[in-house]
Amino acid sequence: MSASAPRAGSGAQPDRGVARGAREGRAFLDPAVVARLSHLDVRARLVVEGFIAGMHRSPFHGFSVEFAEHRPYMPGDPLKNLDWKVWGRSDRLLIKQYTEETNLRCHLLLDLSGSMAFRSPGAAMSKFEYAQSLSAALAYLMLQQQDAVGAMLFADRPLRYLPARAVRSHLDELLKTLGAAQPEGRTKLGPALHELAERIKRRGLIVLLSDLMDAPAEVLLGLQHFRHRRHEVVVFHILDPHEVDFPYTDTATFVDMESGDRLTTEPWEIAKRYRARMSAWSEQYARTCRENRIDYVRLDTRTPFDRALLAYLEKRSKLL
């Protein structure tokens, strides 16, 4: 991500203003910094701008640059897309349309099951807050690229659906919906994914943000439903650091955040087996997704947001 330093004697002079901007921008890729920002629209904008500042080149290079045709201006269209030369010659308001404007329709699938509310001591964000912020950043980034983006919020069943739209004004509605959401309900990813797959009729990109706390076989059947309908699929598997590392040592009582079931145990006795099972569980998801041509990205809430945004852009570039 970061630019390499110029070699001694090469004569290259670093642009200190750019370097400083990149350093400042990268601060907003740190979940601990993002967690201190109260407004979701501010989080989304600064994460994306921080991501761009840290890149060698703009992620928008090559997107929305091939002119396709004109269409009549409609209220709500960005004024920057007006063809002013045509207007000057004919007084007709026409929008310049690019091939990539309608190339991608993306649906963000955000898991609102109760387990997503987990936040270990010292963690900057809960799994839900991380997924919420990442969803907002992805929506902001895609609308910057003139892609259509929608959202589906679900737990054991779909809870809220926003159709995909490509107009900038749609961002306000997306952020309002994401900002008002709260984790609730039981985890039943398989049935929820099947129902969501039936709702989305037009082929596009499906981005799932979830802790995947369900039987992998059921979840993968739901994801295969999307692939059967010829959607491209990206899975962001979001976990808490303590779920990954299991650092507990003293006698502890663990409480299921969805059922309320309690289990008292000696963590040091089970830590080795827990980590082995966690690794095998995650690897099962990774392997099966790979076999079904689904992009799988495992993250925990310490992970800077640029890793997830780059995964999206890599998938996006394959669709062009």
16-27 vs 40-53: helix axis angle to the nearest 10? 140
CA 143 to chain centre: 13
Most confidently predicted of 25-34, 130-139, 162-171: 130-139
Taking the C-alpha atoms of residue 33 and residue 13, their distance in angstroms, rounded to an integer, is 31
Average predicted confidence (pLDDT) for the chain: 83
User: Which of the pair, 82 or 174, is modelled with greater confidence?
Assistant: 174
Taking the C-alpha atoms of residue 140 and residue 170, their distance in angstroms, rounded to an integer, is 10
Is 135's pLDDT higher than 80?
A: yes
Per-residue DSSP letter, 5: P
User: H helices of the chain, where?
Assistant: 16-27, 31-34, 40-53, 84-90, 127-144, 170-180, 189-199, 216-228, 241-245, 267-291, 305-318
Contact 132, 116 (CB under 8 A): no
90-110 pLDDT per residue, tens: 878 887 765 444 458 999 999
Write down the pTM of the prediction. Answer: 0.78
Taking the C-alpha atoms of residue 248 and residue 305, their distance in angstroms, rounded to an integer, is 27
Average pLDDT over residues 220-226: 96
Is 212's pLDDT higher than 90?
A: yes
Taking the C-alpha atoms of residue 287 and residue 155, their distance in angstroms, rounded to an integer, is 25
Taking the C-alpha atoms of residue 269 and residue 272, their distance in angstroms, rounded to an integer, is 8
User: What string of DSSP letters covers 257-270?
Assistant: TTT--EEEE-HHHH
In the chain, what are the domains?
Answer: 67-100 (no CATH), 103-318 (3.40.50.410)
Neighbours of 150 (CB within 10 A): 21
- Confidence (pLDDT) at 73: 77
Residue % of the chain over a pLDDT of 90: 51
- Confidence (pLDDT) at 55: 66
- Confidence (pLDDT) at 99: 46
The set of residues, in sequence order, having a beta carbon less than 8 Å from that of 23 and lying 6+ positions away, is: none
Average pLDDT over residues 183-207: 89
Judged by average pLDDT, the poorest of 5-9, 59-63, 69-73, 232-236 is: 5-9
Taking the C-alpha atoms of residue 295 and residue 236, their distance in angstroms, rounded to an integer, is 8
149-158 pLDDT per residue, tens: 999 999 988 8
- Confidence (pLDDT) at 129: 96
Is 4's pLDDT higher than 70?
A: no
- Confidence (pLDDT) at 70: 72
291-311 pLDDT per residue, tens: 999 999 999 999 999 989 988
